[in-house]
Structures are given as C-alpha cells and as structure tokens.
C-alpha cells in the first residue's frame, strides 16, 4: 500500500486553497467526509501505541505485511512477548499446548519437554529464534520450540 488514503490527501490539499472562505469550506467538507468514512469503518485511524499493540498481538503469526503501520519513525521491532499461562495441556502426541493471557496459543514442535510442568498462572516468555522459529520458556526454565496456532 503506497501513499496515503484519498480522504486524508483531500484534507491535506485544502491547505493549498488561497481564498480563506474557500479553504475553510474545503476543510469543512473534507473533515466531514473523513468523519463519515471513519464512522462507517471505511477508514481506520490508529495512533502509534495502537499500531504497536497490533504488532504485539500478531507476534508469532506469518503475515504478508503490516507495513501500513510503518509511517514516521522506524517501528519498534517485537522480538519477544511475556505473558502468563491461562491453560496448559498435552496433545495425544505428548506435545504441550499453552494458552497465554494475551490470547495467543502456542504448540510445542520439538521433542524437548519443559523441565517443569506448565500450569496456569506461570509466567511464559516467547522469543524469536533462528529461521523463523520461536522459543517458549516457562517460569524462566529451558525453552522449547513452539509455533503459534491461535
């Protein structure tokens, strides 16, 4: 996605109108159109904190691009998240499935079992590892490889 939304560009273009009353009419019309589009959901306005929250919520998913949030300063890279375990269970294969407070669900993909049995309330940290993989550590113990499944 290149450039800015047409409605935002229309608002910015009003600054170029020389006549004061025509410029005010331009701003009023553009602002009303922008407000209507936002109310209908045709355009979404987010601030930097909201964009960072989206990046954190998407941590672990392979998404085509979040470049729509890459305006202004370089966005903060999300390399890890910390949360608490809401639920922990094992699959029939013996692999752990952990649901975290942030709503994410992570499934173990290696054979290295955690050194302690994960339980609700325990702290968990997920960090990026090599070649697009992730390491999940429970309560500061040795990490195991996991992928985000939800």
> CB of 52 within 8 A of CB of 73?
no
Query: Would 1 be classed as within a structural domain?
Result: no
In this structure, is residue 35 part of a structural domain?
A: yes
Greater model confidence, 38 or 69: 38
Inside any domain, residue 75: no
User: 122-139: per-residue pLDDT in tens?
Assistant: 999 999 888 778 899 999
Are residues 131 and 99 part of one domain? yes
Place 100 in a pLDDT band, splitting at 50, 70 and 90: very high
Domain count, the chain: 2
Kindly report which listed range (54-58, 130-134, 141-145) carries the lowest average pLDDT score: 54-58
pLDDT band at 1 (very low <50, low <70, confident <90, very high): very low
pLDDT of residue 73: 56
Cβ–Cβ < 8 Å for 26, 34: no
Alpha carbons 64 and 77: distance in angstroms, whole number: 16
Looking at residues 71-85, what average pLDDT do you find? 73
When pLDDT is cut at 50, 70 and 90, the band that residue 31 belongs to is very high
Structure tokens at 81: 């998240």
Range of 28's domain?
A: 6-69
* 86 lies in the same domain as 144: yes
91 is a domain residue: yes
Find residue 124's DSSP bridge partners. Answer: 83, 138
Local confidence band at 62 (pLDDT 50, 70, 90 cut-offs):
low
Residue 76 vs residue 52, higher pLDDT = 52
For residue 130, give the DSSP letter.
Answer: G
Shared-domain flag, residues 84 and 144: yes
> Hunting for tokens 């370089």 — which residue is that?
74
């Amino acid at each position: 996605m290149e450039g800015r939304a047409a409605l935002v560009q229309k608002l910015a273009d009003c600054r170029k109108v020389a006549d004061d009353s025509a410029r005010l009419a331009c701003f009023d019309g553009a602002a009303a159109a922008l407000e209507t589009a936002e109310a209908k959901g045709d355009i979404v306005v987010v601030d930097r904190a909201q964009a960072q929250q989206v990046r954190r919520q998407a941590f672990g998913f392979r998404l085509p691009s979040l470049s729509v949030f890459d305006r202004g300063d370089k966005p903060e890279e999300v390399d890890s998240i910390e949360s608490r375990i809401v639920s922990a269970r094992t699959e029939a294969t013996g692999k752990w499935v952990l649901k975290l407070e942030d709503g994410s669900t992570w499934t173990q993909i290696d054979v290295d079992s955690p050194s302690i049995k994960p339980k609700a309330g325990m702290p968990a940290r997920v960090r990026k590892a090599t070649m697009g993989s992730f390491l999940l550590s429970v309560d500061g113990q040795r990490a195991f490889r996991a992928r985000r499944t939800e």
